[in-house]
Amino acid sequence: MSGKKRVLSGIRATGRLHLGNYLGAVKGMLSLQDNPDYETLYMIADLHTMTTPYDPEELRVNRREVVMDYLAAGLDPKRSIIFAQSDVPEHTELAFYFATVVSVARMQHLPTFKDKVKQYPKAVTMALLNYPILMAADILAYKAELVPVGVDQEPHLEIAREIARKMNQTYGTDFPEPQRFETSGGYVPSLVGEGKMSKSVSGSYITLTDDLSTIRKRLATVPTDSGKGEKVPEKGGVANLLVLVGLFMGEDRRRTCEAQYRSEGIRYQALKDELSEAIHRELEPFQRRRNLLTEDQPYVDRVLREGSEKARRIARETLDRVRGKVGLG
């Protein structure tokens, strides 16, 4: 082992990545990849995709889409281990051992579980209940200490820390307590005016592959008011638009908009045009690289194959020790 601290993160294979995934997770993944103090592992969470209703054919396609999004965003197989979760069966094995120290009630009370139950009341499966346990196994199979993810994943990281503590107490293992690596876009709001940008809420997101006219159309739907008033809204369409202005045009520009709101008023059409262009400018290099990758599928396959071999070597070492500790070795 290199003595470097490890980093692990993942994204489910549910479709094209959106600005929330990019700012909340991928940007953090990129900045840690550039930091020589860390060894970075980034996976496609294909098993987690199966925790809510899904189509097997779409899963097959989306696994590759996420790899291409990763590579086009700048994740580099020479500097990061890029792999698919299902190619490293040690994750599911470790999740089983972890399940021996977690109560059913603890899982049922998690806010992220309750949200999914509301969303899919007819599909409350054991796989869904196990979601956070598998996520803890993803991280701890590599003894990763830092996890670049959005704010919404904090309850899952809390579970991973609890599991690490309980495993260490019960079986004498030496798992670290992983922390979230924060980015400035840890919570990217929805375009529909409430909640966060999310793949499962149509109209709420801008994907990384959207062209300028699509971005314009999507921003046109953000609900706005008359554009002026004494108090700048803290919730709703205007507030969300201003968060995006801050993230893509800078905090100074956002403050100017707030001052405008309090005085002559915001001209939303002009602001939305300017914002569309700023977002598109940031996405252009990504889109250029992504078009090239679509034509090089063998490269995408090779990245996954080599990545899973490297990841397995590390995960196997952890599992060999854990098997011994839990009484199976």
**One of 7, 25, 159, 241 touching ligand TYM (CB under 6 A):** 25
Cβ-in-10-Å burial (0-12, 13-18, 19+) of 131 comes to: buried
Burial class (CB in 10 A: 0-12, 13-18, 19+), 2: exposed
Least distance to ligand TYM from the beta carbon of 115, Å? 11
Does 72 bind ligand TYM (CB under 6 A)? Our answer is no
Site string for ligand TYM, 166-185 (x = CB under 6 A): -------------------x
User: Which residue in 6, 7, 12, 173 binds ligand TYM (CB under 6 A)?
Assistant: 12
Is 76 or 152 the residue whose CB approaches ligand TYM more closely? 152
| DSSP conformational letter for 201 | S
Minimum distance of ligand TYM from residue 204's CB (angstroms): 8
> Is 241 strand, coil or helix?
helix
Q: Smaller CB distance to ligand TYM: residue 192 or 266?
A: 192
User: Would you say 144 or 266 has its CB closer to ligand TYM?
Assistant: 144
Based on the shown chain and the rule CB under 6 A, indicate whether residue 152 belongs to the binding site for ligand TYM. yes
Q: Which stretch binds ligand TYM (CB under 6 A): 131-139, 161-169, 272-280, 303-311?
A: 131-139
Binder to ligand TYM among 6, 7, 8, 68 (CB under 6 A)? 8
| Residue 120 found at the interface with ligand TYM (CB under 6 A) | no
Taking CB under 6 A as the criterion, the residue among 7, 10, 72, 81 binding ligand TYM is 10
Q: Report the residue from 33, 40, 51, 153 that binds ligand TYM according to the rule CB under 6 A.
A: 153
Size of the site for ligand TYM (CB under 6 A): 28
Asked whether the beta carbons of 180 and 153 are under 8 A apart, the reply is yes
Q: Residue with structure tokens 């598109």?
A: 280
> Which residue from 116, 17, 123, 28 is spatially nearest to 62, judged by alpha carbons?
17
Q: Which stretch binds ligand TYM (CB under 6 A): 2-10, 67-75, 217-225, 282-290?
A: 2-10
Cβ count within 10 A of residue 281: 11
The CA-CA-CA angle for residues 289, 28, 34, to 5°, reads 70
Interaction between residue 86 and ligand TYM (CB under 6 A): no
The smaller minimum CB distance to ligand TYM, of residues 11 and 102, is found at 11
Other beta carbons less than 10 A from residue 297's beta carbon: 11
How far is residue 194's CA from residue 211's CA, in Å, rounded to a whole number? 24
Which residues, 6+ apart, have CB-to-CB distance to 172 below 8 Å? Answer: 325
**CB nearer ligand TYM, residue 196 or residue 216:** 196
How many residues are recorded in the chain? 329
Distance of closest approach, residue 57 Cβ to ligand TYM, in angstroms: 19
- Rule CB under 6 A: is residue 135 a binding residue for ligand TYM? yes
Tell me the DSSP string of 116-181.
HHHH-TT---HHHHTHHHHHHHHHHTTT--EEE--GGGHHHHHHHHHHHHHHHHHH-------EEE
Contact between 272 and ligand TYM (CB under 6 A)?
A: no
Determine which residue in the list 6, 7, 24, 245 makes contact with ligand TYM, applying CB under 6 A: 24
The tally of CA atoms less than 13 A away on the side-chain side of residue 237 is 14
Q: Which residues bind ligand TYM (CB under 6 A)?
A: 8-12, 20-21, 23-25, 45, 48, 135, 138-139, 147, 149-150, 152-153, 156, 185-188, 196-198
